[in-house]
């Protein structure tokens, strides 16, 4: 079972990550945002590919679910912090962080 403090500690431990407000959330960004913490601090949105999202949601449906909108179809996924071990959260953050280290193609 992890918490918002665990998410923050693990995310800030990833190379180049900074923390900043993002609307009503807290964003974690390398080159691009790869994770945001919900205002209630109980869940986070993580950037996966659609294939990674499908895998995570099948593997642990109590912990991961697609965001129910266009962002979700792009791979953004809700992670329920209390349903994740620290190891699972670290792995998910590292996966999302890789997407946050790449500049957007124009």
Q: pLDDT, tens digit, for every residue of 41-64?
A: 999 999 999 999 999 999 999 999
Closest of 94, 89, 75 to residue 7, by C-alpha: 89
Beta bridge partners of 78: 45, 65
Query: Where does the pLDDT of residue 105 fall: very low under 50, low under 70, confident under 90, or very high at 90 and above?
Result: confident
Look at residue 103 in the predicted model and tell me its pLDDT.
86
Q: Does domain 4-100 have CATH number 3.40.50.300?
A: no
Q: pTM for the complete prediction? A: 0.94
| Backbone angles phi and psi of 91, in degrees to 5 | -60, -45
Count other Cβ atoms within 10 Å, centred on residue 13: 11
Compute the average pLDDT of residues 62-75: 97
**36-72 b/e (C-beta count within 10 Å ≥ 16 → b):** bbbeeeebbbbbbeeebbeebbeebeebbbbbeeeeb
Q: What's the rounded Cα separation, in Å, for the pair 93 and 91?
A: 6
- Backbone φ, ψ for residue 77 (5° rounding): -135, 135
């Amino acid at each position: 079972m992890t918490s918002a403090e665990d998410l923050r500690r693990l995310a800030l431990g990833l190379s180049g990550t900074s923390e900043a407000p993002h609307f009503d959330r807290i964003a974690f960004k390398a080159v691009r945002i790869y994770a945001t913490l919900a205002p209630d601090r109980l869940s986070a949105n993580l950037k996966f590919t659609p294939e990674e999202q499908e895998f995570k949601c099948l593997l642990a449906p109590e912990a991961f679910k697609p965001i129910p909108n266009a962002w979700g179809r792009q791979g953004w996924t809700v992670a329920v912090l209390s349903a994740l071990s620290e190891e699972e959260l670290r792995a998910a953050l590292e996966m999302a962080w890789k997407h946050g280290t790449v500049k957007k193609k124009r």
